[in-house]
């Protein structure tokens, strides 16, 4: 059985909840923000596995970008400048002299139009928004469609689609912080993560990628056989320390496994798999998380969640040999990320 509920939060905001026999997902039409994902542990207890503000008014500013759709360009753009067809465009400077996550008028604080739907094997909501030419400094009128869908097979699908009337740049993602311990009982230090990646982007002191590490073998960035996140937290690797003792790096997928990412927490028994047609992702372990913000269960602190921001790299704007984020008027941006959920150990 699958079900969709809609609750009015205020004059403009609605919270939708998609549920099946196993799990449920809740999200807002404001920012497309995912507020809750309830998944059972190995004893059958359903708990929230994403970070959520206790007071929903905090989503208006959302300093942590909790659960939101990120765009037009997810990630950092060096010096808040892009060049298209010999024309230079100045973007919002919202992180020192750089541009982060679409700027002040990013998709994380947009009120999206919506339509609900039900299919034979799932149920969902489609969000739409037209980003006008010049918004946050980007060229082109861009029509964006993002669909959230829950299936009877415990898959949560996010489909991204966009078109433009002028050459522009675009790469979208979702910025949910996951914590499989459930209801934020622990940090993510004991989460075991497997990533189909042998290459990462190296960061400078401003966290701007400046080079490609072609082989991560025998480093804290080699997750191909699985690794606990805490190994990066205590690492003396300069790249781990640079970002606040953890991870905030882009991983290029090798595209050699069915799931690009597998996350497991043995204490709760929860397991999450991520499959995508994106070329890579930023894994961020909340090393720089602002502390003391009241979340639904506890106050925010370092390492309380981990983001898996599947996307093409913004660094392709200044580094060669990376997947492009250019979108042309005769093209359709079409990307998908699938999160599937299970238990390491089934309830007996």
Interval 150-195: pLDDT, tens: 999 999 999 999 999 999 999 999 999 999 999 999 999 999 999 9
Q: What is the pTM of this model?
A: 0.97
What's the CA gap between 27 and 17, in Å, rounded?
7
Domain that holds residue 158: 3-187+282-343
Give the domain CATH number at 324.
2.70.98.10
For residue 340, which of 263, 283, 277 has the smallest C-alpha distance? 263
Whether the pLDDT of residue 346 is over 80: the answer is: no
pLDDT score of 345: 53
* 1 Cβ contact list (under 8 Å, min separation 6): 20, 21
Q: What is the tally of structural domains in the chain?
A: 1
Q: Please, how many CA atoms are within 13 Å of residue 74, restricted to the half-sphere of its CB?
A: 27
Q: Once rounded to an integer, what is the mean pLDDT over residues 270-295?
A: 97
Residue 126 inside a domain? The answer is yes
Q: Once rounded to an integer, what is the mean pLDDT over residues 275-284?
A: 98
Whether the pLDDT of residue 112 is over 80: the answer is: yes
What's the CA gap between 80 and 75, in Å, rounded?
11
pLDDT score of 292: 94
Residue 94 inside a domain? The answer is yes
User: 348 pLDDT band (50/70/90 cuts)?
Assistant: very low
Residue 326 inside a domain? The answer is yes
What digits encode the pLDDT tens for the residues 189-227?
A: 999 999 999 999 999 999 999 999 999 999 999 999 999
Q: Where are the alpha helices (DSSP H) in the chain?
A: 230-233, 238-242
Residue 134 inside a domain? The answer is yes
Residue 309 inside a domain? The answer is yes
Residue 319 inside a domain? The answer is yes
pLDDT score of 344: 75
Residue 222 inside a domain? The answer is no
Kindly list the catalytic residues: 175, 309
Whether the pLDDT of residue 56 is over 80: the answer is: yes
What Rg, from alpha-carbon coordinates, does the chain have? 19
What's the CA gap between 215 and 197, in Å, rounded?
9
Residue 298 inside a domain? The answer is yes
Instruction: Kindly provide the b/e burial profile for residues 43-52, where b requires at least 16 CB atoms within 10 angstroms of the residue's own CB.
Output: eeeebbbbbb
Q: Once rounded to an integer, what is the mean pLDDT over residues 283-287?
A: 98
Given CA atoms 194, 323, 200, 300 in this order, what sign does their dihedral have? negative
Which residue has tokens 């869908």?
A: 149
What's the CA gap between 212 and 222, in Å, rounded?
14
């Amino acid at each position: 059985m699958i079900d969709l509920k809609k609750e009015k939060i205020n004059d403009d905001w609605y919270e939708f909840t998609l549920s099946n026999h196993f799990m449920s997902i809740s999200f807002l039409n404001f920012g497309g923000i995912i507020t809750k994902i309830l998944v059972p542990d190995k004893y059958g207890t359903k708990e929230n596995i994403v970070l959520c503000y206790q007071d929903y008014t905090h989503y208006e500013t959302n300093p942590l970008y909790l659960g939101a759709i990120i765009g037009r360009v997810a990630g950092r753009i060096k010096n808040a400048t892009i060049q298209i067809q010999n024309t230079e465009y100045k973007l919002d400077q919202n992180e020192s002299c750089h541009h982060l996550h679409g700027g002040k008028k990013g998709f994380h604080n947009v009120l999206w139009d919506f339509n609900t739907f039900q299919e034979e094997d799932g149920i969902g909501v489609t969000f739409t928004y037209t980003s006008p030419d010049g918004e946050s400094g980007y060229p082109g009128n861009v029509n964006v469609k993002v669909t959230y869908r829950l299936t009877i097979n415990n898959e949560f699908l996010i489909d991204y689609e966009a078109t433009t009337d002028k050459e522009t740049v675009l790469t979208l993602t979702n910025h949910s912080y996951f914590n499989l311990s459930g209801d934020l009982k622990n940090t993510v230090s004991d989460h075991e993560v497997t990533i189909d990646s042998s290459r990462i982007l190296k960061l400078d002191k401003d966290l701007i990628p400046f080079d490609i590490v072609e082989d991560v073998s025998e480093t804290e960035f080699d997750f191909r056989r699985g690794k606990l996140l805490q190994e990066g937290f205590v690492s003396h690797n300069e790249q781990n320390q640079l970002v606040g003792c953890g991870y905030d790096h882009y991983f290029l997928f090798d595209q050699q496994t069915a799931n690009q990412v597998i996350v497991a927490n043995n204490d709760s028994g929860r397991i999450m798999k991520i499959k995508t047609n994106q070329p890579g992702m930023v894994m961020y372990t909340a090393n720089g998380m602002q502390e003391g913000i009241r979340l639904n269960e506890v106050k925010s602190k370092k390492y309380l969640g981990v983001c898996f921001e599947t996307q093409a790299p913004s660094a392709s704007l200044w580094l060669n040999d990376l997947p492009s984020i250019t979108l042309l008027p005769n093209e359709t941006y079409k990307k998908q990320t699938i999160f599937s959920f299970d238990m390491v150990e089934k309830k007996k």
